[in-house]
Structure 1
């Protein structure tokens, strides 16, 4: 039988291979590092198999429980009896690698990978057997925990995959046609954020309670720099100049597709220096616990949700990672920093390239002291001290 330690030590090969756990449960190890739980059966002298999820999203105990339920519960009889063939997950990955991935930035690739996880209930289903009801049910369950826009975009991926399957004659009809008519309507709402001084102080204290050094450091760095979470998760050491206190975010990591320069406060430099000494100063700054992978924005979001389980006196107002940008904008505007400087630091650049270059050069001398003042302000609220004086510019 497998153990988590044994699974982590499985070596990659040039071709994929199965390793047995027991009683029909296997782990399919792919050359790209992906590990897929697979349940295999012999029915009427024919081999059938069902892929039930990816490791480590589906843990060892959960995979065994799913195997037992599939084998013992009559509700799965029809699913188990389905003949081996191309699954939705296999075809979706094929479509993604050939048609979509080459055109996407790294941050966009991370979003697609996340949305494929949202579609996990469909991944092991035969491509030709998926019904409209299954698709709608999967997306409606997703809407119970995620915004309507996330559901809509995830449904869009299903539609693109099915459309490609229809075009290549893999399916006789498209069960996702006009899927948007049955999905929740997107209503834009402000991101939950701490915008009042007492709330910000409690939030900054709460961040200290995050156990993981990597996750705590990532969220604190975002708090001090108010970059987008995708920019932080994709950050590399070659973007950072600790001596000069500057972070050069490349265009391919930004939402605007423009280079972005972030002055680093002493607090931000200290966070990065701790990580450098712990993990070395090469490659990505925020490695995931899964070797070879990175921390993703949804992982940071889950850590923010966990803060709501703190004791009442230490519990911050509900806040999302993106909310740190609203916090910074509110505080800096209330303290009458130049609005153009604030917008430049938020990455809201002019689209005109020559104007943007001019703004970047002109505002940097102001953005550097502004970012240090803001970091000192956050610390003063966390520690219950008087707020720092405004610099004399």
Structure 2
């Protein structure tokens, strides 16, 4: 029995999705949640294909029947409505009449379907709170190593302030009110982190066609928080932003790897740039720094993650046979100058608050503590002195625990670099994945 508008309006959801035919392959499917979607089955070159139009009542019964007729006219000429809707090009061997019909179909139905579905999604998105939890479920949880931090920000500062506003109605002033309130309680860095989270949330909404502007992007980081040297622990967002900026910059490849290794190995800058190849055992994945090069005059063992091993392997090919891991540009007989990496960092134009290279160590320590790792393991990784009986054991062991911890940290850093966006970081990226 053919469909009617009255029948379409009165169709109710059931325990399972079901469909009703209008004839000629056209049908309406009703989901368990009550969404009614148009579909068409047709034959092409002896095979059955299926294509969808959109939802009812966004597309009326009259729309659906006209669409069915156009689809059948295409399939009769050997063209696939399913492929055209998917965005495939019109076949080169199609006749002029068939090509004209295909282009009319794309204009009349493919573009219209996208526009109407986007409009329907914009109308359904609702409040910022509703969209924030959708973003959290779709993007944050699957791709973020520690989504609880973002959940806390949403729960504590964002949702109470603007959760009941429609997403498209959130303004620059709303974002500033939130960051100002956080700064008023003496938490400048948390204010900056909150702004960054809102910036990512609205970037996702723009990508979905739900809003056209990002109110958080208009708030410059330097006006929210200016960190003091030695007081900085980079947030997850800033860590990813920094490393993406490093790898996309024009600095020397060896300098990019050096900055990445400083973060992964948790060593001091001087300990890294003074590294010699006879200290590094790539087979055992260990770096033994002799006592004379350590701040406390005690030898220090650094277990190397898979990522760090792969980076050192690449650096060996770049070192030109020098005994130094980071030889000077002018001579292979000396390492790079102590200021070289600082200068490289200062050339980066990034939306990250002021920091110094030494703060990489504090960043690693902060995130490892937040992840629940043992403080003794972290202190040992930083080559900090621990006094008393615990210090004796600390100096002697924790090698395996630190190896596992530093591998976790390297994987965590990787996830911040990618975080929904791919960045080419080089050959070592493939090398360690096989390990």
TM-score between the two structures when normalised by the length of structure 2: 0.42
Structure with greater Cα Rg: 2
TM-score between the two structures when normalised by the length of structure 1: 0.46
